[in-house]
């Protein structure tokens, strides 16, 4: 089994688990917002904490937990219009490899920076100001989890691009996914 396929199979269950959490986050956002609207307009008693919870936690979870799954399946926005016309596999795969490596470096940087921020927020007991003093460190933990898994997915894509080049073929989204 190729290294990219092995890595893809190892991280796919983690991506699916995070995607389920992303789905739960959007369901929670809809539910909290709907109940808040009813309480706000029917009972004149809005939730003072709903906006903080949905924007600082659930929206972040939705985005960062879905990111590795969506990227791994090629369902993300991909600016490949400039390389679609390149028919030589070595050149086209070279651009794919460049994009995967740059994405990997960005994901690692974001994960590392948020890991440091998470540790600091934990050590200092930082909380959000407002009606519900939510701890800040879980926000950073969500970003770390999503971008760390994204980094592994980008590594998988980089390996797949190298393997495709060695085979003399053009890497496809399906070969990048597993």
Tokens at residue 164, please? 């495709």
Which runs of E-coded beta strand occur in the chain?
none
Is 168 a residue whose pLDDT tops 80?
yes
Is 127 a residue whose pLDDT tops 60?
yes
Is 39 a residue whose pLDDT tops 50?
yes
Beta bridge partners of 127: 135
Can you give the pLDDT at residue 74?
Answer: 77
**What predicted TM-score, i.e. pTM, was given to this entire model?**
0.89
Q: Which of 160, 120, 155 is nearest to 140 (CA)?
A: 120
First to last CA, the chain: 11
């Amino acid at each position: 089994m190729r290294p990219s396929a092995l890595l893809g199979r190892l991280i796919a269950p983690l991506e699916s688990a995070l995607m389920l959490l992303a789905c739960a986050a959007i369901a929670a956002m809809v539910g909290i917002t709907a109940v808040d609207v009813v309480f706000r307009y029917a009972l004149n008693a809005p939730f003072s904490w709903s906006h903080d919870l949905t924007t600082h936690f659930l929206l972040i979870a939705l985005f960062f937990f879905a990111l590795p799954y969506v990227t791994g399946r090629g369902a993300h926005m991909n600016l490949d219009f400039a390389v679609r016309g390149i028919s030589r596999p070595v050149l086209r795969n070279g651009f794919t490899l460049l994009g995967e490596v740059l994405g990997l470096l960005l994901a690692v940087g974001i994960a590392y920076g948020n890991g440091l921020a998470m540790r600091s927020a934990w050590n200092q007991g930082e909380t959000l100001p407002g009606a519900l003093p939510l701890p800040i460190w879980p926000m950073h933990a969500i970003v770390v989890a999503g971008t760390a898994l994204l980094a592994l997915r980008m590594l998988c894509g980089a390996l797949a691009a190298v393997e495709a080049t060695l085979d003399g073929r053009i890497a496809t989204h399906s070969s990048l996914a597993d």
